[in-house]
Structure 1
């Protein structure tokens, strides 16, 4: 099978780009031909980088809109030159046989409150909502992939129904990259952060601090006196704002900000638990990465969490209540992290990227005759 993935950016790492990269790798290993059509392909050059935060954000808005509009036209031309190919669209572009829903902007805004203000203050959010309203209520694609059953409900609630069939295919997790550390790897990871055996470390990973609940995790430290919080990700201004929050909560000496990092396995190796009181996730890949690393997870009931977390076995599901979060952090801190590892790892071992790729192949196989039939009628 000849498969084209349409995505703004693709590459190793996390997020949508990393997921598409993992999917493409597995599809190739299954014997399929895989190409990518990216925003750089649409523009004919790499995206310009700005040092100014304002210009950087403005460029993100422009490039996203440009890839949705001009990128759609160029992607259609790209696919027309490959009439034998089937296509998977991951974001923005309004074409492709299958569209993968990696998130619903309206759901994310509603979860944070003040929805209208949040939508209007960011023109990209408003543009994305109306673009995807056309996508889901129309027949731009032949099938939609949602990452969880809950996300199917979100799509129907936000857009008033989806016109084409929706199939649930969860993300895989890189079980080779994310694995329980050896005692030597754990000791090395903790030494790099100047942590000793007495420290009980809760890890938080994410860039969108407000939506992902970092303030609640910091406040929870007041109810977990033996725990320190290690924060990976974020931008300079957001980090400074959370430093002030930690200072006001009286826990600043127990919060360590390390900024954006790509070597996530080392931070999982150094940690005793992963805390993630997020408001909304279409999936929450970092949850399964933590479990694959043998780290128990404290998280809210969003994304994949209710599907993989069993209270007391590989972590805990909680509300966004700092007191409850702190009590659970303290409960895990009183245990030995090695007691959790086998159950955490076992809970996600079935979520391989190979299994995910095979489900996409099954869906594409169903789509191909439908497209051929429609093209025959059109002809």
Structure 2
């Protein structure tokens, strides 16, 4: 019997990590000629040819989940969609249901991050602002039910670190965890020199300047303050372009000598062009699980300078595709200054970054998902069967 796949994700689009992962998987399933459906409330403009879209709670798309009031919007939207999607999944009893955290039960849960570990990292760094975000209470309760309660047959961890956290925090048996990294759309993310030049002209960045790119919606956790500190220590020909929807006001004040070379672009959807505009991508983040932006940068032949946390250390190799950095401006500045003005060194790092990304194409990642989902489907046919064993 041919496999049928149903994905559940609140938003299907190319904006954001989880949203784009679900979209790319849908495309990979379609290219593999597999019948697949996506249950979502918000659907972006990007086409997912061959995928059936089943919208539930479409009216939720009118509630803003980005911007200053995003936490309140999500607190309303996410729980309601989760309930609606959980009910919708029951209408597909023959399908293998894969959820990105937006249904209370299913067959395969993709764990993009373990929220409990993320909060622990924030507490260790002295960041307590997360307590003002009411979404964390919902996520905590949801994760205890979905993960701690073992409501799914299998759990996909996007990195070995996530797999370890699932075992340590929620006691998920190793036999029910499969590590499958996120992928990259190599057709969309590639070096486009003309697009990069257009970005520089849009923001008034000199074409001969050395440009660092930072991208992330949580400026504090992603380490923007450290990146700006590094910019302050670098030469007058080095600029920084910051992409993300967080409040830029507190961070503008951190730049003194480099104030005129720090540009905030806000939230953007043209990330390939932004990567192409940059000479290097910098992300001194405190916690990640895979960091899709780092892999997107590499696909666009942009070397990466990032902290070796949560999966980044699995593919970021010093001197090959970038450099691992510490969350300290001095360390970041020292490693960037060593290569930023060395054309030959940057060229070699760019080539290494692109070569790394070629190993993370979505068709290959999708094939690993399909292999797992076919095994899950086989286990569903035998009511008394044990969970699908992990294949190394």
After TM superposition, the score normalised by the length of structure 1 is: 0.90
CA deviation map 1:228-252 (0-9, x unaligned): 11111123xx1112112224xx421
CA deviation map 1:105-127 (0-9, x unaligned): 22222222268955643332122
**Does the 8 Å contact 1:144/1:164 carry over to 2?**
no
Q: Counterparts in 2 of 1:291-306, with a 5 A limit?
A: 291-306=298-313
CA distance in 1, matches of 2:66, 2:155: 37
Shift of 1:48: 2.3
CA distance in 1, matches of 2:34, 2:262: 47
CA distance in 1, matches of 2:271, 2:197: 16
Tell me which of 292, 297, 314 is aligned to 1:307.
314
Q: In the superposition, relative to structure 1, how do residues 298 and 52 fare at CA in structure 2: closer, same or farther (>3 Å)?
A: closer
CA deviation map 1:178-222 (0-9, x unaligned): 11234x444444333333343111100111101101011001122
Partner of 1:5: 7
Shift of 1:170: 0.6
Shift of 1:273: 0.3
**Does the 8 Å contact 2:60/2:77 carry over to 1?**
no
Unaligned runs of 5+ residues in structure 2 are: 43-54, 387-392
CA distance in 2, matches of 1:118, 1:134: 25
Tell me which of 213, 219, 229 is aligned to 2:240.
229
CA distance in 2, matches of 1:86, 1:333: 48
Partner of 1:58: 72
CA distance in 2, matches of 1:58, 1:172: 31
Q: Counterparts in 2 of 1:42-81, with a 5 A limit?
A: 42-49=56-63, 56-68=70-82, 70-71=83-84, 74-76=85-87, 78-81=88-91
Q: In the superposition, relative to structure 1, how do residues 116 and 164 fare at CA in structure 2: closer, same or farther (>3 Å)?
A: farther
Partner of 2:153: 142
CA distance in 1, matches of 2:181, 2:385: 33
CA distance in 1, matches of 2:128, 2:353: 40
CA deviation map 1:32-61 (0-9, x unaligned): 111111246342534323599665432211
CA distance in 2, matches of 1:269, 1:137: 42
Tell me which of 96, 99, 111 is aligned to 1:101.
111
Q: In the superposition, relative to structure 1, how do residues 345 and 50 fare at CA in structure 2: closer, same or farther (>3 Å)?
A: closer
Partner of 2:291: 284
Tell me which of 156, 180, 183 is aligned to 1:172.
183
Partner of 1:155: 166
Partner of 2:389: none
Q: In the superposition, relative to structure 1, how do residues 132 and 46 fare at CA in structure 2: closer, same or farther (>3 Å)?
A: closer
Question: Bigger shift: 7-16 or 212-221?
Answer: 7-16
Aligned partner of residue 253 in structure 2, secondary structure:
helix
Question: Bigger shift: 193-202 or 276-285?
Answer: 193-202
**Does the 8 Å contact 1:180/1:341 carry over to 2?**
no
Q: In the superposition, relative to structure 1, how do residues 313 and 44 fare at CA in structure 2: closer, same or farther (>3 Å)?
A: closer
**Which has more helix, going by share of residues?**
1
Partner of 1:31: 33
CA distance in 1, matches of 2:31, 2:370: 12
**Does the 8 Å contact 1:272/1:296 carry over to 2?**
yes
Unaligned runs of 5+ residues in structure 1 are: none
After TM superposition, the score normalised by the length of structure 2 is: 0.87
Q: Counterparts in 2 of 1:351-366, with a 5 A limit?
A: 351-366=360-375
CA deviation map 1:50-90 (0-9, x unaligned): 5996654322112222233x23xx534x3333222111001
CA distance in 1, matches of 2:289, 2:65: 30
1:132 lines up with 2:140 in the alignment = no
Q: In the superposition, relative to structure 1, how do residues 117 and 289 fare at CA in structure 2: closer, same or farther (>3 Å)?
A: closer
CA distance in 2, matches of 1:124, 1:163: 29
**Does the 8 Å contact 2:104/2:145 carry over to 1?**
no
